[in-house]
Chain A
Amino acid sequence: MQKLFNYKFFTLINIIIIWQAIAVMANSSDFPTPINVIVSLYYHTVEDELLFHLGVTLYRVFVAFIFAMTIGIFFGILMGKYKKVDKNLDSLLTLGLNMPALVTIILCYIWFGLTDAAAIFAVIINKVPTVIVTIREGCKAVNKELMEISKVYKLSKYDTFSKIYLPQIYPYIMVSARSGLSLIWKIVLVVELLGRSSGVGFQLSMFFQFFDITSILAYSFAFIIVILIIENFILQPVEKKVTEWR
């Protein structure tokens, strides 16, 4: 673990050194040095509203993530378990998977107004189909022989679901959670850029108008750091815990 961390750290340092060298050679405001970006990050954090906007975006990511995962897991299990439901909803799922995110966002803003609810709803609609597909595949791969244990020993529905069925689809839930988090925060930024007056996406659009590349990179960094912390200190440990039997 320590070794892996050292490798990651070493790679990061190398990237920063190369970046610094190229930025110094380019000598352009469109390509700031990493030191400038760090100074900007410090300024926006301490003197400006970075923490507020970061908080707002994280709140939207969190709500959209919870709803998308819950709805996706529910319908994924239904479609994976019952062929009739799968047949009936499959074309709707294909539509959802192929609908461009931008179209959903614009339609939600037009139909429901430029509100937080519409923004979050648009993100959920974009993410749910991919969760469903992953979970459905997980349910189809459930080991039927293990399910027979439940029938032989007359287990309750709760025990059958929680102790035999669900553990088999945990890996699929974790895959969709991790890919879900990365997809959701990207869509949230687009949603904020298009129709909100707060959040990291909104701030990025402001900086874009002023060609303030340093601030754009500073905000991006702040957000990426937070997502990496969530990924490394929440999602990965949870995944390790639920799959430690492997």
Chain B
Amino acid sequence: MLKVNLQSKSFKKQNILENINFDVKSSEITSIIGPSGCGKTTLLRIIASLDENYIGSVSFNDNDSIENLGFIFQDSRLLPWLSVKENILLVSKNKDEKKIEELLCIVGLKEHMYSYIKELSGGMKRRVSIVRAFINSPDVLLLDEPFISLDQPTAQVLRKLFFKFFSDYSPIGLFVTHDLDEALAISSRILFLSSNPSTIIYEYKNEPTFDKVEIALKRDKILGDYPSILSGSLS
């Protein structure tokens, strides 16, 4: 179980995150939604130990750090001087080339295994970062708006692909997004954040679905009850 007990995180003497406490169980995706600049990415960076300047604690199965972590960044963050396969091989713990090839095959990148990153489209890069994030069967998977700036059909294909991988490997998933529909599609819980400083203002239990009508109904219900929730307010 991943336990986040964050008392405060400040930047330039100003609190940006305050009293954010939640647990996430295995094989569960928790989405975090909040207004732009409210500190969602900072929260993920704290969980990934990329930012250690905060008050509070993050623990995974009673350990201070997460040994086996996967992270899908907003910008793919692939190494341009390595080929697609080498990018994944670099982070692979058991250097199982067959498994890498298999996964690349599943995401439709078999032909591009030896291509450099510059030769890939935006969608292809996200596929590579999805494979990279899952290659070590991570205990915890962090996703920072991974489907942003993609056209809708590509984003939808990738969401389904991601969901398939997630079901196969069942890690703990923490998904940062500003897209409520996306959160309703893949997560079993949604945490809504306020801003200045950010804290959890509402928690929504959800049954993941890719059914557009069902998503629209849920979205309308939430926004009907709390019209300003995406701006970080319950009023």
Contact = CB atoms under 8 A, between A and B. Distances in A.
Interface of A: 145-146, 148-149, 151-155, 159, 163-164, 167, 245-246
B118 A246 contact: yes
Given A151-B49, A154-B67, A245 B90 contact: no
A169 to B, nearest CB: 11
* Residue from A152, A154, A164 with most neighbouring chain B CB atoms (10 Å): A152
* Residue from A146, A153, A163 with most neighbouring chain B CB atoms (10 Å): A153
Contacts of A146: 77, 79
30 contacts: A145-B73, A145-B75, A145-B77, A146-B77, A146-B79, A148-B50, A148-B77, A149-B79, A149-B91, A151-B50, A152-B48, A152-B50, A152-B69, A152-B71, A153-B69, A153-B90, A153-B136, A154-B67, A154-B69, A155-B90, A163-B79, A163-B82, A164-B79, A167-B79, A167-B81, A245-B81, A245-B82, A245-B117, A245-B118, A246-B80
Tell me whether chain B's interface is mostly helix, strand or loop, or mixed: loop
Interface string B117-130: 11000000000000
* Residue from B67, B71, B90 with most neighbouring chain A CB atoms (10 Å): B90
B116 interface: yes
Given A145-B73, A153-B136, A155-B90, 7 more contacts: A151-B49, A155-B91, A163-B82, A167-B79, A245-B82, A245-B117, A245-B118
Contacts of A245: 80-82, 116-118
Interface residues of B, number: 19
Contacts of B75: 145
A242 to B, nearest CB: 8
Interface in B6-49: 48-49
A148 B117 CA distance: 18
Contacts of A149: 77, 79, 91
Interface in B82-118: 82, 90-91, 116-118
A155 B136 CA distance: 13
Contacts of B50: 148, 151-152
A159 B71 contact: no
A243 to B, nearest CB: 8
A204 B136 CA distance: 64
Contacts of B90: 153, 155, 159, 163
Contacts of A153: 69, 90-91, 136
Interface string B57-83: 000000000010101010101011110
A16 B105 CA distance: 59
Contacts of B82: 163, 245
